[in-house]
Amino acid sequence: MPTPAQAIASLMQDLLHLPVGVDSMQLIAAGASGRSIMRSSQPEAQGILGIYWTANRADNASFVPAAQGLAAAGMNVPTILSTADYGEGRGACLVQDLGVTDLLSLKDAPWPIRKAAYAKAFRALIPLHSLQPTWELQPAFESSMYRWEQEYFAEHLVGRHLCKDAAAFAAHPALHLMAEELAALPRVPVHRDCQSQNIMLSAGKAWLIDFQGMRYGRAEYDIASLVYDPYMDFSEQECEELLSLYTEMNGSALHEDIFHACAMQRLMQALGAFANIGYNQNKKWYLSLIPVGLRRLRQVTNRVQLNSPLREVAQWLQDVI
């Protein structure tokens, strides 16, 4: 079985018909998901990115068919240049390199620049929610998946980080009801991890990446992932402007309760991940994101109206965090 560097170098050699050294491979990203992303330092390989994956996560092998399907539908996604299958859930591919500018890289830019970039992101994302995919997606958002997000948050954030009763938090009937009601709503294709590091800016447009987790769910989940992204730490006024911008571009207003429910779900999932990765994978930087994520979660719960069916969930979260 080749190493990630060997697999990617071999694909580049076959594509370019030139020698590409394994020692020229530069690791850009590698994580617990079993994916390694690399560039070659050789000039001949400029504009090409290599991705190697294992079976550590079920959605890793979905990247290529999703990229090909999205590209065929006219979406802004990187072009697949070549692929290799190594069996046992392992594989590699070469894709168009979109550079290094993502939404997160604009975190400290003036607000007009960030807002314009998010307009591009919405322009790239909105068509995804009306697609009819012809390829197999990951399992849809059922009540069990929403419950998994809640329990993930309970175990890692409530229990491990806050040192409170995780089981009692997860057992609240209002959380169960929110999961069931979200799952009963009509669904559309969603990115599933639509945060600032997964939107690239290149050639004057926004591009979607890391969409291997695509599945059917609520469009509000993706929008909440962008607007309440803990990596970005927007002010309340900036969040309001982004929501108004999305409404204007989409041509219809968000349903407040559905949006708030999706935002709470997404933030529970993200906070659970930050605590899990920070403590269990010893990547302490993720723990620094928890205070911002908790502020975002409080911000969402404060937006829930007193007469909303979500008020009990919002109050339960406020009491715990």
Structure tokens at 22: 């394994």
Closest to 132 measured CA to CA, from 69, 211, 219, 64: 69
Which of 76, 203, 231, 217 shows the shortest CA–CA distance to 143? 217
Q: What is the pLDDT of residue 245?
A: 98
The pLDDT value recorded for residue 171 is 98
Query: What are the structural domains, with CATH classification, of the chain?
Result: 4-96 (3.30.200.20), 103-320 (3.90.1200.10)
Q: Please tell me the total number of residues recorded for the chain in this structure.
A: 321
Looking at residue 35, the DSSP 8-state letter turns out to be: E
pLDDT of residue 31: 62
CA distance 185 to 85: 37
**H or E, element range at 190:** strand 188-190
What is the Cα–Cα distance from 22 to 40, expressed in whole angstroms? 8
pTM score of the predicted model = 0.96
Q: Do 11 and 29 form a contact (C-beta atoms < 8 A)?
A: no
pLDDT tens for the chain, residues 1 to 321: 899 999 999 999 999 999 999 999 999 976 667 899 999 999 999 999 999 999 988 899 999 999 999 999 999 999 999 999 999 999 999 999 999 999 999 999 999 999 999 999 999 999 999 999 999 999 999 999 999 999 999 999 999 999 999 999 999 999 999 999 999 999 999 999 999 999 999 999 999 999 999 999 999 999 999 999 999 989 999 999 999 999 999 999 899 999 999 999 999 999 999 999 999 999 999 999 999 999 999 999 999 999 999 999 999 999 999
Q: Would you give the DSSP letter of residue 157?
A: I
